[in-house]
Amino acid sequence: MTIYEDIVEAKKQSTKKFGVLIDPDQIRLQSFETVLEQAIHHRVDYFFIGGSLVVNNKLDDVLQTIRQQSTIPLILFPGNSFQLSHEADALLFLSLISGRNPELLIGKHVVAAPFLKKSSLEVMSTGYILIDGGKPTTVSYMSNTTPIPADKYDIALCTALAGELLGLKMIYLEGGSGAQNPVSTKLVKTVSDGISVPLIVGGGIKTPEKAQAIAAAGADIIIVGNAIEHNPLLIGEMADAIHSYSRVN
């Protein structure tokens, strides 16, 4: 089964997945070890690997280190077209459909396409939708795009629908890393009710309660980065909250 098939199957069963985001530039060695240990112990479903900048060349090292110690699938979540590696299992091929920056809608993809065609990475095309999280985030600044206002439910829904109709395999609602406010449950529900492809939600999720509420609202995969980087021991509570939702419903 491919990773995507597994995600689709989980969606059918209403089983929620938990992804831990690791930014190879940000992670400190000590917390990396704890994150890895906790993620294995608490059955994290995916590692998402990526960041907005590539300050150093740690991507391959980080991937290899995780690979040596676990079988958790490694999904590249690239901030730009240089963040590609054969060491991962899959790649979110992101098109920033909430923005109107042609480079991030198709330009970077053209550059990455020959590499991807040759690689064994599983490529999952994903409509990336940036939602205003209350303050400018790295992704809004770096992408030079305006996020969708947090209360414009219809715009977010129509954007996601357009992505699905264009053939994108998943939709990612992004509040931005370190967002003040995560994407609201109302917005998650509106989008989730209107589309049939899997829905990923991330950005500013700091508590297990919030993660569970977002899962309950219809997210299929919940991504947490910053909060875990600050406190890797949160992984257990987050995993329980997300996975227990799957079990009781």
Which residues are near ligand 1GP by CB under 6 A? 21, 174, 177-179, 202-205, 223-227
Alpha-carbon distance 57 to 62, whole Å?
A: 10
For 77, 103, 117, 231, the CA distances from 107, given in Å and listed in that order, are: 17, 4, 16, 37
For the bound state, the minimum distance from the C-beta of residue 246 to ligand 1GP, rounded and expressed in Å, comes to 20
Amino acid letter, 224: V
For the bound state, the minimum distance from the C-beta of residue 192 to ligand 1GP, rounded and expressed in Å, comes to 16
Residue 178 or 194 having the CB closest to ligand 1GP: 178
Residue 108 or 114 having the CB closest to ligand 1GP: 108
For the bound state, the minimum distance from the C-beta of residue 174 to ligand 1GP, rounded and expressed in Å, comes to 5
For the bound state, the minimum distance from the C-beta of residue 67 to ligand 1GP, rounded and expressed in Å, comes to 21
Residue with tokens 């400190």: 28
Closest by CA position to 172, among listed 227, 228, 206, 219: 219
Residue 132 or 174 having the CB closest to ligand 1GP: 174
Amino acid letter, 206: K
Residue 19 or 112 having the CB closest to ligand 1GP: 19
For the bound state, the minimum distance from the C-beta of residue 153 to ligand 1GP, rounded and expressed in Å, comes to 19
Residue 234 or 247 having the CB closest to ligand 1GP: 234
For 133, 134, 137, 203, 207, the CA distances from 181, given in Å and listed in that order, are: 5, 6, 11, 8, 12
Residue nearest to ligand 1GP (CB): 202
> What does the DSSP assignment read for 110-142?
HHHHHHHHHS-PEEEEEEEEEB--SS--HHHHH
For the bound state, the minimum distance from the C-beta of residue 247 to ligand 1GP, rounded and expressed in Å, comes to 24
3-state secondary structure of 202: strand
Residue 68 or 169 having the CB closest to ligand 1GP: 169
